């Protein structure tokens, strides 16, 4: 089936050619009368979507514009949730439903309390400022795992230029005590991060690889040991010729990876079975930077597509916060 689609058309004939089945295992997740919808456009680099089911809205970052945006499910309206956002990038919710944010501009991880005040959870390690936290995942025990590749100090466009004072690492943070440990230090630019639905595996994207033709662009997986440390690094899949960015797992253990920097036929979302086989793709007309599941039944995939926000209903469900 052709994956070509005219994105300026208001009506899309079913089934949507932008949703491609590459392996029979993906077939059950594709809904014949569901299409990819562009919900909004107008950002410079959309990132970090996070769903608030109790409020019926989605938050996501527009990093260069230094703001967090809010999309209301009931009305489709988009408003500014926070500006300035300190060039926030990735977001998650903790076990109490509070917003956890990675801020480029202030080089810190924060928590937004119920009353709207912001608590700084971590902004340094061993007395040195973090590089620029990027993406985040929360373990059921409450610990916050986040990546710190430093993109926010490499350009003024997404933060403030500064010197790297720490290696690029993945941290495990106790938000109650502020104690943090390095759990990964071998990646050049650790970026997207998520747990498997049973929290026994951790997936991490490395976006630091060169763009030289033929270079592997790996997405890695680690065994989580006692909820505290990781086993040896293993390659989960190779995203070449492009790269992955944000990632999420569904309840069946499939990994959904935002992807881009190649163009038609590649940019969008790539879906992998638990064994690392690419089983499906959702094609977008622009780079996809990050994604999350939401909606009343957690079966609506939201995609932050660089300048736009997209969604599509699938028969997969995101992992609940519990």
pLDDT at 193: 98
For each of the domains in the chain, give its residue range(s) and CATH number, in order of start: 19-313 (2.120.10.30)
Q: Is 158 annotated as a binding residue?
A: yes
Mean pLDDT for back-to-back runs of 10 residues, the chain (322 residues): 66 94 98 97 98 97 98 98 98 97 98 98 98 98 98 98 98 98 96 98 89 75 97 96 96 98 96 98 97 97 97 96 64
Q: Active site includes 206?
A: no
pLDDT at 214: 62
Q: Is 134 annotated as a binding residue?
A: yes
Q: Is 254 annotated as a binding residue?
A: no
pLDDT at 183: 98
pLDDT at 66: 98
Q: Is 245 annotated as a binding residue?
A: yes
Contacting residues for 220 by C-beta, under 8 A, at least 6 apart: 187, 203, 204, 205, 206, 233, 234, 235, 236
pTM reported for the whole predicted model: 0.96
Q: Is 66 annotated as a binding residue?
A: no
pLDDT at 1: 44
Q: Please tell me which residue in 16, 245, 250, 267 is annotated as part of the active site.
A: 245
């Amino acid at each position: 089936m052709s994956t070509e689609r005219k994105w300026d058309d208001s009506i899309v004939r079913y089934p949507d050619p932008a949703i491609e089945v590459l392996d029979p295992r993906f077939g059950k997740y594709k809904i014949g009368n569901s299409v990819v919808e562009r919900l909004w456009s107008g950002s410079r680099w959309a990132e970090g979507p996070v769903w608030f089911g109790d409020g019926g809205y989605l938050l996501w970052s527009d990093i260069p514009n230094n703001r967090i945006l809010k999309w209301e499910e009931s009305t489709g309206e988009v408003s500014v949730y926070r500006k300035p956002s300190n060039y926030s990038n990735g977001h998650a919710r903790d076990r109490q439903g509070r917003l956890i944010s990675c801020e480029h501009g202030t080089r810190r991880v924060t928590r937004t309390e119920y009353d709207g005040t912001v608590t700084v959870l971590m902004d340094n390690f061993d007395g040195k400022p973090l590089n620029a936290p990027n993406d985040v995942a929360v373990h059921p025990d409450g610990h916050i795992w986040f990546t710190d590749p430093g993109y926010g100090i490499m350009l003024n466009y997404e933060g403030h230029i500064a010197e790297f004072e720490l290696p690029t690492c993945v941290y495990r943070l106790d938000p109650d005590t502020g104690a943090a440990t390095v759990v990964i230090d071998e990646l050049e630019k650790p970026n997207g991060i998520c747990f498997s639905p049973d929290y026994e595996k951790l997936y991490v994207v490395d976006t630091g690889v060169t763009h030289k033709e033929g270079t592997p662009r790996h997405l890695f997986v680690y065994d989580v040991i006692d909820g505290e440390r990781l086993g040896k690094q293993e390659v989960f899949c190779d995203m070449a010729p492009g790269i992955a960015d944000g990632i999420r797992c569904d309840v069946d253990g499939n990994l959904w990876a935002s992807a881009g920097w190649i163009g038609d036929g590649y940019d969008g979302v790539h879906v992998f079975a638990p064994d690392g086989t690419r089983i499906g793709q959702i094609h977008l007309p622009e780079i996809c930077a990050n994604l999350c599941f939401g909606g009343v039944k957690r079966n609506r995939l939201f995609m932050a597509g660089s300048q736009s926000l997209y969604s599509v209903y699938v028969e997969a469900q995101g992992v609940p916060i519990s």
